[in-house]
Amino acid sequence: MSKSSGLSGSTCNMIEGQEQSLNPEIRIAELEARVRVLEEKNKDLEKRNAELERLSYRDSLTGLYNRRFFDESLDKMIVGGNESPVLDERRAGIDNREVGVIVVDADQFKHINDTYGHAAGDEVLKSVSRALDTLNKREATDIVARTGGDEFVILLPGMSEEMAAERARNLWSIIREFKVRAGEDLIPITISLGVGSLKLAGVKDALYAEEIRLKGSDLPPDEINAKLEEKKKEIFAEFLDQVDEAMYAVKKEKGSDQIARVSEIQNKEMPTDEAA
């Protein structure tokens, strides 16, 4: 009797479960619960992907932007003419057809690395990055990146070379407050800076002329676009080389701890913006 009752109870439970699964209201509630779980998982995945994307644009040692972010930012200014959302008063009335650039080189970096070790060298790079960050917070610098080794670049949308040179003098002053301790030694940090500006209209004209030339050669559209990208990178590289060369020319002539402007080197003049 008890065995028969047990079977009867099990059968009743099965029937009740089937009835509940067929109940539309219960079914809808289950589906809504699953949708909420999936939505939460998607949100979590989006956050993780966003964090990975952010990290892909950052230098692991200094936390500054990396070369990839710098190149893409410069590229967007050419393509879209987009101004950075951060705009100080001095640039508010300026037509955004020019971008200032400051190249920063940590002086004696190899000597410090070789003499005091890589840990001291890393501290020099971190100190320079902190100085750049200080300037960024103080004067709304737009994009600061470590582009490799002991070199950093500051991208200043809407700034002429003259305005970028003023920013460079401020950075030159800030870095003098930083020193690195290596054992019992306290190492002063100095930097050399190159300053220039890129005329965006000139870049667009050069790219347009190149596009017309390529279209006349009957190349397929994909190949034309690829060659235009190469041309754009070539223009950027030539410009940055000019800023680098200005810095090293003055460094060779005057020594470290100097500020050099592209226009002065191109005019074959050697006066430097020494921030006294």
CA angle 179, 185, 187 (to 5 degrees): 30
From 98, 70, 105, select the one nearest 247 (Cα to Cα).
Answer: 105
Selecting among 59, 150, 244, 257, the annotated active-site residue is 150
Partners of 144 in the beta sheet?
Answer: 154
Quote the CA–CA distance of 181 and 123 in Å, as a whole number: 9
* Pair of tokens at residue 5: 């009752």
Q: Is 179 left (phi over 0), alpha (psi -120 to 50) or beta?
A: beta
| 150 noted as active-site residue | yes
Q: Contact, 198 vs 161, CB < 8 A?
A: no
Catalytic residues: 150
